[in-house]
Structure 1
Amino acid sequence: MKQIYQRPMLAASLALAFLAPSAHALTFVLHDVSAGGMSAQQLAAFQTAANYWSGKLSDPVTIYLDIGFNNLGQNILGSTSSTFAITDYNNIHNALLADASSALDNTAMAHMQSGPALKFWATQGDGSSRFDNDGSANNIYLGMTTANAKAMGFGIGTSIASPDASIVFANAYAGDFVYTRAGGIPSDKVDFITVAQHEIGHALGFTSGVDDIDYCMAPRNGAACGISNTADRFEGDWWYEPLDLFRYSAAGVADVRVGGTPYFSVDGGVTSIAPFSTGTEHGNGWQASHFGPNQVNLMRPFVGDGEWYDASNKDLAAMDAIGWDLTSPVPEPGTWAMLLAGLGLLGWTSRRRRHTSHPA
């Protein structure tokens, strides 16, 4: 079964004044939207997942999440969506610069494009590829989850009534999960805490606009994807997101194309920290809002039966790069090449269950 991340449920206003620091660290407010309420085990598992991220990220912000189990329709496992805010690259660059507090942040900022318009290799509306540097709206504006915007210091007015994200699973598949790690994970079950941590990771900003380009490539058209199948139909709107600023295919080659061999890098593409997935429809079969499937990272596209794990240093490095502050630093950028060389001989095999909104 494939993973279940989806595009935003709505757009939020973005206040460009930065938030003053508060006395508390990262806090989650969980709002049960289940019909009849979640079970005590389900709610405890969601809370455990939220507490995990609160222990890893120190930003003094509050994130509001709708959570629950409901009847979602035939063959639908679940639905996860985030609220998005939109601003220009200059604002994001300045916010990340003001927020930089780690060695990884400093390296990322030293290698970020100067702006105000971004330049990158991109897939066009007709599926062709070109170096996009014309200063159109898609080069200037970025969308980001409101949770990610809060981490950067932007004032975002979300609440229980207007949450940052919604993570809802289907009652019909509730029995596929195990809701506690005590005693281990049965070989025929999926660890719900790992899945919930993964989905919260998307709400925090582990997302990519490459997924939307992948979906909207020809022959699709219409209001959501542009009015025609011409090559330039993606030029007039925002498509990409903060994590896409660190998507490279070679040293100095910023690359937000569908497919290919992109990877996460904070030093301008010199060092590949982890490969990205490349698109469900025209890429490797996995949504681009994930690391690749062949390494054990929380933000890879699946959780295997009988397995559990938390965020790796690679997952945490991505969160650090997009504006979150870590409670404990990950390795400095210069050490990643050595670490990856040492891990290169380690393989990963398992029986895998993909999480999808349409189970096979």
Structure 2
Amino acid sequence: MLISVKSVHNSLFLTPYSARFWVSFALAATSIGTFSLSKAQALNFKFNAAPDIDPIALAGFEAAGNLWSSVLKDNVTVNINVGFQPLEEGVLGQTQSQTVDIAYSRVKAALSNDRTSQSDFTAVSNLPQDNYLTFIGTEEDGFLELDPDDPGRISRDNTTLSVNTANAKALGLITNQNGLDGEITFNSTFDFDFDRADGINSGKFDFIGIAAHEIGHALGFVSGVDLVDIASFPNGPFAPFDLDNLATFSPLDLYRYSEDSVATADTLGKPVLDLTADPADQYFSIDGGRTNLALLSTGFFNGDGYQASHWKDNSLLGTLASIGLMDPAGAPGERLQLTELDLQAFDAIGWDRVPETVPEPSTIAGSLCAGLVIARFLKRRRG
């Protein structure tokens, strides 16, 4: 059952904590210009532009939308407000997504009905078969516990998911194609390179890449572990806050595992997710945790220092190559790239892929952050 519509704002700051983190905002539909992308692919974007936006930037959003339309074929329209304003230090851009609360049982059924690839069939066959989630979670006191620890203590965070409206459209769970799905704001204090044809200027940031990454968050690459992170001790700024009665986790969280959760699953005889805000490794898996496809970030406050709504940052992996477009940080001159792992994740949460299509490196880009993109060189400089 559709419970509510709300707005979620994921934020990651290099400066001291701001009270705006994880605050719900009413999205103001102050769109002056509407830029609609209509093309052969069914996925369509409508960018509602702030009055002072540069046409070159609007064309950059078009290019980022074209990237997603070239690899995803769902017959939906995604509506996003776009604009520029000064943001906090180290933040390149931020995304605020509209979400709906939907019973896990309905999401599971929709994912089953939406299977179009072998990965889909594998992912759905390994979803929790109960109509509730069993997971290792971080309690508000900071301790890790099995939730629920018995079937009589099931709460809303076990039974109901928070689903981005764009993702819900792709799954056929909502039908309002005109509803606003998100708002992307770029930091007007940074220099961006809007032309990727000749590479990215060493002193500028890849605008199309950042826009594509932020759109990816609006499409559903988000994690409720970020909410757990801020609600729990020892470092969560809202701790202690009990999340039991909230729809906390996302469809992407259905594929979040760890060695500990798999070991617990072997004991219980059913899938156990890892939804902790903790430094220990968590990974993306579509076969019940047996195969670690890619590491995930684990939380800004209590985890590895990056929002959980991302892949693990390549700087923490000791490599120059990022896992994919949804890496949490980037550097000037860096050109981020959509990868097979990115597409496998979007496939798993209910988007339909153009078969076996991965854009060539010359056609892609990345951004950073589920709500905010971080400048990696600033984070390193600040220690």
TM range, smaller chain: 0.7 to 0.9
Cα drift, residue 289 of structure 1:
0.2
2:375 pairs with 1:353: yes
What corresponds to 1:267 in structure 2? 287
- Choose the corresponding residue for 1:25, options 39, 42, 45: 42
Q: CA deviation at 1:74?
A: 8.0
Deviations 1:267-326 (A, max 9, x none): 000111100000000100000000001234100101222121331100100000000000
Residue 193 (structure 2) aligned to one of 178, 195, 198: 178
2:296 equivalent in structure 1: 276
- CA shift, 1:190, in A, is 1.0
Name 1:256's counterpart in structure 2: 275
Letter in 2 for 1:285: G
1:114-193 equivalence runs, <5 A:
114-133=129-148, 134-157=153-176, 159=178, 162-173=179-190, 176-193=191-208
Of 64-73 and 306-315, the range deviating more from structure 2:
64-73
| Residue aligned with 1:208, SS | coil
Separation in 1, partners of 2:175, 2:225: 25
**Per-residue Cα deviation, 1:60-87 (whole angstroms, up to 9, x for no partner):** 0000000111355788654320000001
Specify whether residues 238 and 37 from structure 1 end up closer, same or farther in structure 2 by C-alpha distance, changes over 3 A only: same
Equivalent residue, structure 1, for 2:363: none
Distance change >3 Å, CA 283–CA 95, structure 1 → 2: same
Aligned to 1:43: 58
Alpha-carbon distance between aligned partners in 2 of 1:261 and 1:124, rounded to the nearest angstrom: 18
User: In the alignment, is the contact (CA less than 8 A) between 1:9 and 1:83 conserved in 2?
Assistant: no
Aligned counterparts of 2:21 and 2:177: Cα–Cα separation in 1: 19
Aligned partner of 1:246 in structure 2 is 255
Deviation at 1:3, TM superposition (A): 7.5
**Identity over aligned pairs, percent:** 37
2:328 to 287, 292, 301: 301
Give the CA deviation at 1:355: 9.0
> Could you say if the C-alpha distance between residues 356 and 192 of structure 1 is closer, same or farther in structure 2, counting changes exceeding 3 Å?
farther
Contact 1:2/1:355 (8 A) holds in 2:
no
CA distance in 1, matches of 2:204, 2:180: 30
Aligned to 1:204: 219
Structure 1 pair 356/53, CA: closer, same or farther in 2 (3 Å)?
farther
Deviation, structure 1 residue 37: 2.4
> Does the 8 Å contact 2:230/2:236 carry over to 1?
no
- Kindly report the root-mean-square deviation, in angstroms, between the aligned alpha carbons of the 2 structures: 3.0
- The one-letter code of the counterpart of 1:287 is Q
Offset at 1:6? 6.9
Deviation at 1:172, TM superposition (A): 2.5
Task: Kindly tell me the number of residue pairs found equivalent between the two proteins.
Answer: 316
Residue of structure 2 in register with 1:286 after alignment: 306
Q: Tell me, what secondary structure is at the counterpart of 1:127?
A: coil
Q: Distance in 2 between matches of 1:155 and 1:181?
A: 36
Corresponding residue for 2:119? 104
TM-fit CA distance, 1:354: 2.7
Q: 1:75 to 1:266 in 2, by over 3 A?
A: closer
Question: CA deviation digits over 1:10-29, x for unaligned, max 9?
Answer: 59xxxxxxxxxxx9600000
Structure 2 vs 1, CA of residues 270 and 72 (structure 1 numbering), >3 Å: closer, same or farther? Answer: closer
The residue type paired with residue 208 of structure 2 is I
SS in 2 for 1:154: coil
CA distance in 2, matches of 1:129, 1:330: 40
Conservation of the 8 A alpha-carbon contact between 2:91 and 2:375? no
Counterpart CA distance in 1 for 2:357 and 2:274 is 25
Distance 1:355 1:268 in 2: 36
Runs (5+) with no aligned partner, structure 2: 1-10, 15-19, 28-39, 266-271, 315-321, 359-373
CA contact under 8 A between 2:235 and 2:302: conserved in structure 1? no
Q: Provide the residue aligned with 1:19 in structure 2.
A: none
Contact in 1 for aligned 2:70/2:354 (Cα 8 Å) = yes
